[in-house]
Structure 1
Amino acid sequence: MSQSQSIVLPRVSVEPPPPPVPIRATREPVRVALIGVGLVSRDHHEPGLRLDPRARLAAIADADAALLERRRVEWSDGEPIKTFTVERLPELFADPEIDAVVIATPNHTHKDLAIAAAQAGKHVMCEKPLGLDAHQARAMTAAAEAAGVVNMTAFTYRFAPSMRYLRHLLRNGDLGEPRHFRSQRFLDLPETSWGWRQYKATAGAGDLFDMTIHRLDFAMDLLGPLARICGAVARFAPRDRDASGNPCAPSEVDDWSALIGEFRRGAVGVWEGTTLAKGYHVGGYGHEWAEVNGSEASAVYRMHEPNTLLLGRHGGDLEPIAVPNAFLKPSGSPRDPAQGKPATVFRYDLMWEFVTAIVEGRPAVPSFRAGLNAQIVADAVLVSHQRGSWVEVEPVSLA
């Protein structure tokens, strides 16, 4: 895909954050607050925290007072849990008995919450996307690094066992020279309202920021930074009714996204995501297929079967192989890979990494910088769609 030297492509980049301040280790137990106690905290963050003997749930906060009280009762385990309404969040950030926060709130609140937490000296993990655009993500990254706190983007799928094994095969050269990356993320969701997720002011974008951004992150983790991108988004479902049939303002964001990218190291990639793929329910997990074709072999990760990798070589077929035990979980994680639903329980290791980085006084992986780089590319997709052209991207260093 060579380009003429006479063509000047639009460019999406942000000023890199200044060098980070060194991180200091925090004593055990690490006292964590969950800000936003909806489904993602219920299904992923709280169970992961409960497994870790080095940490405990010290506080919770939410805009819904009834949900907040219900979670306090559900999650109490002998230790008192402080509760904070949204209006009292400054008290949470000032509380010396809280070491770290997890932000699982609507997208438009991420920037201010993360900056306030960092400036108060709290370690912070934030759901994706970090902000409504890369400039917000850059401000969050700069604030966290200037404060010398652990910062982490909740890119859950990096922790899937088959993704961890695929990364190992690439690093080890077992696939040969990487040539192609391919991602499909198809969901069969109802066409009713998404609430705040369907408005630009509160979500930024739809499928692109909610689902495809994960795939941008792990593609760059596997194959290195992207150089340029072209893409498109579309909206098919009006979402002008809620689940009860009551009218609401129609959706403003995409429910389909697709893009083509060129990696700086020479490989190419394609991504497609949709929430409207009828018949792709797959037990509620949806269809996920992420493939790397190398000069020697091809390998495929599938989220609904995360303990199995598909592997094939020239002249043969893709065959399922069990992920070796060493890659089923991070070293030291207390999680038992034989317990629970495989497509759910690997997500608990996200919290394990966050707490480990805090205890060891080191950067977490993936950091806010990884979230910033994914946001730079996602922003470029919107620019590409608007202009109908390729867009150059300039990621920031992860170091």
Structure 2
Amino acid sequence: MSSKIRCALVGLGRWGELLVEAGKQAESLEITAVVTRTPSKVERYCADNNLQLTDQLNNVLEDDDIDALIIATPHSQHFEQLMKAAECGKHVYCEKPFTLNSAQADEALSALAKSGCKVAIGHNRRFAPNTLALQQLIADGRLGELVHIEGCFHANMAQASGKWRDSVEESPAGGMTSLGIHAVDMLINLMGPITRVDAESERIAATCAFDDHTSARLRFANGGKGQLTTLTSTAMRWVITVCGTKGWAEIRDLDKLTFSPTEGALEENTYPGFDYPGLASITAALQGFAGDVLLNQPYAVSPHQIAHATAVLQAVIDSSLSGESVDL
């Protein structure tokens, strides 16, 4: 393998184009090919960006010049594509959610591991500077013992009406697969494993076929508790708040951090260059994937955390349907 991993992007929608742009800035990764169901829609884009174009996944799976897949397709397609990647020995960077249920996640992760393939998940918010600073506050003990965490990710998803996300099959429990899974990953990252989920999901003002208000009460292995909320019928909002015995800290968007200690002055920080969509954070995630493939440097999200987040996603779905809490 060369000093760069060569990737085929599977799926070229709005986020796929962001991945292409982010990939241009990655030192150890390059996107050289695109797989899409309708090549005619992206012929000009691929020509302008010097990308090989095909509508057949097998063409890139059988190409020895392709080291890895970057999967940015509809959620329900991920599992089959992950399994094919494992079969052909291709490393994988997969957009979230990894799969739509826990059994599929476990099977795909096992298959990739047995094939010696590296796997990464597209949680670019892990790489945002305010997230890294919050992690350091926690590691330094400045929050004390963590007792509570809250996460919300909202957006106006009206534009999804009539498109592939607009179904309960692709978007179970409302915004959980498109938005809330980011918050799930961040809560796991900061607070640790989740052991109980008690969720509700319903349509209040939705214009799409899926729910627009989903929330869950959470219990963590460390004894702390939490709250998760995702709305799909309001303006964009990303906030994570962590409360400890020495104070609370909050990240907003990808570039703001507030720390309020029980003793001392409020601290506020802004990190320029990371306003939405935070292209630099996507580049960092892709570069992290390349570092794992080339140098065996562990990716920020471990396979175990990928599996656990998928189990939490399934628990939110199951709890919201049954009206009962789910233990993990």
Q: TM-score range by the shorter chain?
A: over 0.9
Counterpart Cα distance in 2 of 1:225 and 1:190: 33
- Equivalences for residues 160-239 of structure 1 within 5 A: 160-190=128-158, 193-237=161-205, 239=207
1:115 maps to a residue whose letter is M
Task: Please say if 1:266 is aligned against 2:223.
Answer: yes
- In the alignment, is the contact (CA less than 8 A) between 1:133 and 1:204 conserved in 2? no
Query: Is 2:315 the counterpart of 1:376?
Result: no
Corresponding position of 1:365: 300
User: Does 2:126 correspond to 1:158?
Assistant: yes
Deviations 1:5-42 (A, max 9, x none): xxxxxxxxxxxxxxxxxxxxx43221111111111121
SS in 1 for 2:99: coil
Residues 36 and 367 of structure 1: CA distance in aligned 2, closer, same or farther (over 3 Å): farther
Paired residue secondary structure (1:366): coil
1:20-66 per-position Cα deviation (integer Å, ceiling 9, x unaligned): xxxxxx432211111111111212x1122111233322211111212
Rounded to whole Å, the distance in 2 between the matches of 1:194 and 1:167 is 39
Cross-structure match for 2:43 = 69
- After superposition, the Cα gap between the structure-2 partners of 1:63 and 1:367, relative to the gap in structure 1 and judged at 3 Å, is farther
Q: Who is 1:344 aligned against?
A: 278
**What is the aligned partner in structure 2 of residue 23 from structure 1?**
none
Shift of 1:104: 0.2
Q: What secondary structure sits across from 2:178 in the alignment?
A: helix
Alignment partner, residue 81 of structure 2:
113
Look up the SS of the partner of 2:218 in the other structure: strand
Secondary structure in structure 2 of the residue aligned to 1:287: strand
Counterpart selection for 1:308 from 256, 260, 264: 256
In the alignment, is the contact (CA less than 8 A) between 1:178 and 1:295 conserved in 2?
yes
Q: Is the 8 A contact 2:194 2:218 kept in 1?
A: yes
1:52 corresponds in structure 2 to 26
CA shift for structure 1 position 107? 0.7
* Alpha-carbon distance change, 320 to 226 in structure 1, aligned in 2, over 3 angstroms: same
Which residue does the alignment assign to 1:320? 268
Query: 1:377-399 CA deviation, whole Å, 9 max, x = no partner?
Result: 11112222233222111xxxxxx
* TM-aligned CA distance change 1:192 to 1:199, over 3 Å: closer
List structure 1 runs of 4+ shifted beyond 6 angstroms.
Answer: none
- Count how many residue pairs are aligned between Structure 1 and Structure 2: 327
Give the whole-Å Cα distance in 2 for the aligned partners of 1:341 and 1:238.
Answer: 27
* 2:188 and 2:305 in contact (8 A); partners too: no
SS at match of 1:37: coil
In the alignment, what sits opposite 1:40? Answer: 15
The structure with more radius of gyration: 1
Distance (whole Å) between structure 1 residues aligned to residue 86 and residue 301 of structure 2: 17
Deviation at 1:341, TM superposition (A): 4.1
Question: Using the alignment, how far apart are the partners of 1:390 and 1:117 within structure 2?
Answer: 35
CA deviations on 1:306-325 (whole Å, 9 max, x unpaired) are 333101112667441346xx
User: Helix, strand or coil: the match of 1:354?
Assistant: helix
Distance of aligned partners of 1:167 and 1:152 in 2 relative to their CA distance in 1, 3 Å threshold = same
SS at match of 2:60: helix
Where in structure 2 are there 5+ consecutive unaligned residues? none
Shift of 1:136: 1.4
Aligned to 1:83: 53
User: 2-side partners of 1:119 and 1:69: how far apart?
Assistant: 29
Residues 27 and 369 of structure 1: is their aligned pair in 2 closer, same or farther, counting only changes over 3 Å?
farther
> CA, structure 1 residues 343+162, in 2 after alignment: closer, same or farther (shift >3 Å)?
farther
> In the TM superposition, what is the alpha-carbon distance from 1:361 to its structure 2 partner?
2.9
Alignment deviations for residues 98-157 of structure 1 (CA, whole Å, 9 cap, x no partner) = 001100000111011111112211110111111121111112111111111110111121
CA RMSD for the aligned pairs? Answer: 2.1
**What is residue 247 of structure 1 aligned with on the other side?**
none
Tell me: CA distance 1:385–1:206, structure 2 relative to 1, closer, same or farther (3 Å). Answer: closer
Q: In structure 2, the residue corresponding to 1:108 is in which secondary structure?
A: helix
Q: TM-score, normalised by structure 2?
A: 0.93
Partner Cα separation in structure 2 for residue 149 and residue 95 of structure 1: 16
Paired residue secondary structure (2:268): strand
Unmatched 5+ stretches in structure 1 = 1-25, 241-250, 281-285, 324-337, 394-399
1:98 aligns with 2:73: no
Deviation at 1:340, TM superposition (A): 7.0
In the TM superposition, what is the alpha-carbon distance from 1:273 to its structure 2 partner?
1.1
- Gap change, CA 1:383 and 1:29, over 3 Å in 2: closer
Q: Judging changes above 3 Å, is the alpha-carbon distance between structure 1 residues 199 and 161 closer, same or farther for their aligned structure 2 residues?
A: same
CA contact (8 A) 2:7 2:32 kept: yes
- Give the aligned residue type for 1:57: I
CA contact (8 A) 1:357 1:363 kept: yes
The residue number in structure 2 matching 1:246 is none
Question: d(CA) in 1 for partners of 2:157 and 2:76?
Answer: 23
**Greater length-normalized contact order (CA 8 Å, ≥ 6 residues apart):** 1
Q: Secondary structure at the match of 1:141?
A: helix
